[in-house]
Structure 1
Amino acid sequence: MDFPVTFQIFGKTILAHPVLETVGIFIGMRYYFYLKRKSKEKLSFNTSAAVLIGATAGALIGSKLIGNLENPYTLFENFSFKRFWTNNTIVGGLAFGLIGVEWAKKIVGHKESTGDLIVYPLILAMIIGRIGCFLTGVHEETYGIPTDFIFGMHLGDEYLRHPVALYEIGFLIILWIILKTLQRKNKYPSGFVFQLFMLSYFSFRLMLDFIKPRIEIIGNLGTIQLVCIVVIFYYFLKLRKTKVVTSL
């Protein structure tokens, strides 16, 4: 396979990543609305609208802010709006999307968790997006460091690299299966599945980023890893308070 994989759209050559990222968001949203129609838990229009706006605004701001802070020296020394707008990371999107949702819920006075329904559509969208990351190779900063490991692959340059996008796809598929299995065996309070997803994914990303190129900010940790630690701590405290009832 030759990297990067591209598509011809309206006479222009487009990298696979933005194309599949867009497809992933579309399919994920359609899956979410399908699950929402089947769900017994109904939210008012005001609550649904507030949550959607909060999540979208938070994710948009967070994905670009954290994405650019991965290399703060370049951001502040030679600022470019185009570069700022095109740098994104799912870690920032998830973390700040959470903040946006919590603020929105406070505004409309909604206290119950609203995250469980989005978990599987989100995982699906992320898997499709990561396929795009893999197909783009080293032409966007979603690749691993050089390695002699058995899974090392040529992703568009002379080095064998960790195919971190494939690692993440494998992790997300396994996480989907585990969460579905747990839901069948136990009865959880609202929001537990989303909390477990966030704790699991951010723990995985904390470790995965050790085999990705990064600018070390504190110790040997990059910006994304520092965000992961904050989110892990937050959800670890929340999950400690959760009571689980085992189904017989």
Structure 2
Amino acid sequence: MSISLLIVSLPFEPVVFGVKLNMHLILEYLAFFVGFRYYVFLRKKSTDVISSNNRLSIIIGAVFGALFLSRLVAFFENPVAHIQEGWLYNLNNKTIMGGLFGGLLGVELVKKIIGEKHSSGDLFTLPIILGIIIGRVGCFLAGIKEFTFGKETTFFTGIDLGDGLLRHPIALYEVVFLIILFVIIRRLQKSKIEHRNGDFFKLFMVSYFSLRFCIEFLKPNSFYCLGISSIQILCLICFVYYYKFILRGITYVRKKLYVL
């Protein structure tokens, strides 16, 4: 039996009091709200080595960096089509991948300006993951109205996302992956494993960008550069950015395997 027979039809747009609800937009706003409240909760429970003023500056840098690069990367997913759609469409079009890496660059720029030396990412890691999970549920409910759907498939996970075809539910793949990653990072934070400040955020970025690099092969992309999509190019840039962390992780794993 196909999974598509076990769920409501997509896109899911319930009508409440005569108003059709855009569940994707609702969950997108909910993701920001819940993610920020979770961050505030974690900050109150932890000893933050970064002052409140510097932390606020870092958040502002992250927001503006994310706003800019999320739209720039989305534009390069298919620049020809986006030019034809006009500037208003481009302002509304965005991608979480550009937002994450743009936020990272925005934070690093602000830290250099204000002279902040401490790593700031670990406190944001779990709230970001939680926010993406909520947002991806919204993407799934939007069906083929959001470009988070996959190619046609005969695999058992195939779901009718609204066009009568069984497709890879990429948004759900991400949700499952991120839930597992959330649990792993949460347990690592509670453990006494040796780590440096910022390692958990780096682990999230490298893990999530690795997933997205692979998942892009399951998407019906129509625009490629050097045989890969703009998202995959951004993933490679992220790997280069974090190459020291990746090499350190490989060395750590090899030592553990050698001991075993």
TM-score, normalised via structure 1 length: 0.92
User: Residues 14-72 of structure 1, C-alpha deviation per residue, up to 9 Å, x if partnerless?
Assistant: 42111101101100000001101111124223311210110000111111111121101
In the alignment, the residues of structure 2 paired with residue 49 and residue 41 of structure 1 have an alpha-carbon distance, to the nearest angstrom, of 12
Q: Indicate if the aligned counterparts of 1:199 and 1:236 stay in contact, CA closer than 8 A.
A: no
- What one-letter code is carried by the residue in structure 1 that aligns with 2:30? V
Moved more, 66-75 or 27-36: 66-75
RMSD of aligned C-alpha atoms?
Answer: 2.0
| Cα distance change, pair 196–9 in 1 and its aligned pair in 2 (3 A) | same
Q: Aligned residue for 1:168? A: 174
1:28 to 23, 27, 35: 35
Residue 226 of structure 2: SS of its match in structure 1? coil
Q: Aligned residue for 1:93? A: 99
In the alignment, the residues of structure 1 paired with residue 50 and residue 16 of structure 2 have an alpha-carbon distance, to the nearest angstrom, of 39
In the alignment, the residues of structure 2 paired with residue 181 and residue 34 of structure 1 have an alpha-carbon distance, to the nearest angstrom, of 18
1:84 to 81, 90, 103: 90
- What one-letter code is carried by the residue in structure 1 that aligns with 2:162? G
TM-score, normalised via structure 2 length: 0.88
Q: Aligned residue for 2:5? A: none
Q: Aligned residue for 1:136? A: 142
Q: Indicate if the aligned counterparts of 2:49 and 2:118 stay in contact, CA closer than 8 A.
A: no
In the alignment, the residues of structure 2 paired with residue 140 and residue 218 of structure 1 have an alpha-carbon distance, to the nearest angstrom, of 22
User: Residues 51-106 of structure 1, C-alpha deviation per residue, up to 9 Å, x if partnerless?
Assistant: 01100001111111111211011223x25122112211100000110000000000
In the alignment, the residues of structure 2 paired with residue 10 and residue 55 of structure 1 have an alpha-carbon distance, to the nearest angstrom, of 38
1:227 to 208, 224, 234: 234
User: Is residue 2:201 matched to residue 1:194?
Assistant: yes
Q: Aligned residue for 2:220? A: 213
Moved more, 6-15 or 63-72: 6-15
Q: Indicate if the aligned counterparts of 1:54 and 1:100 stay in contact, CA closer than 8 A.
A: yes
Q: Aligned residue for 2:44? A: 37
- What one-letter code is carried by the residue in structure 2 that aligns with 1:219? L
Q: Aligned residue for 2:10? A: 3
2:80 to 49, 73, 79: 73
1:179 to 169, 178, 185: 185
Q: Which runs of 5+ in 2 are unaligned?
A: 1-7
Q: Indicate if the aligned counterparts of 1:4 and 1:156 stay in contact, CA closer than 8 A.
A: yes
User: Is residue 2:108 matched to residue 1:108?
Assistant: no
In the alignment, the residues of structure 2 paired with residue 239 and residue 133 of structure 1 have an alpha-carbon distance, to the nearest angstrom, of 30
Matched residues, number: 244
Offset of residue 8 of structure 1? 4.7
In the alignment, the residues of structure 2 paired with residue 163 and residue 25 of structure 1 have an alpha-carbon distance, to the nearest angstrom, of 23
Q: Indicate if the aligned counterparts of 2:50 and 2:118 stay in contact, CA closer than 8 A.
A: no
- What one-letter code is carried by the residue in structure 2 that aligns with 1:124? L
In the alignment, the residues of structure 2 paired with residue 107 and residue 9 of structure 1 have an alpha-carbon distance, to the nearest angstrom, of 48
Q: Indicate if the aligned counterparts of 2:161 and 2:167 stay in contact, CA closer than 8 A.
A: yes
Q: Indicate if the aligned counterparts of 1:131 and 1:165 stay in contact, CA closer than 8 A.
A: yes
User: Is residue 2:112 matched to residue 1:127?
Assistant: no
In the alignment, the residues of structure 1 paired with residue 201 and residue 148 of structure 2 have an alpha-carbon distance, to the nearest angstrom, of 25
In the alignment, the residues of structure 2 paired with residue 60 and residue 14 of structure 1 have an alpha-carbon distance, to the nearest angstrom, of 25
Offset of residue 9 of structure 1? 7.1
In the alignment, the residues of structure 1 paired with residue 202 and residue 40 of structure 2 have an alpha-carbon distance, to the nearest angstrom, of 21
Q: Indicate if the aligned counterparts of 1:4 and 1:15 stay in contact, CA closer than 8 A.
A: no
Offset of residue 188 of structure 1? 1.2
Q: Which runs of 5+ in 1 are unaligned?
A: none
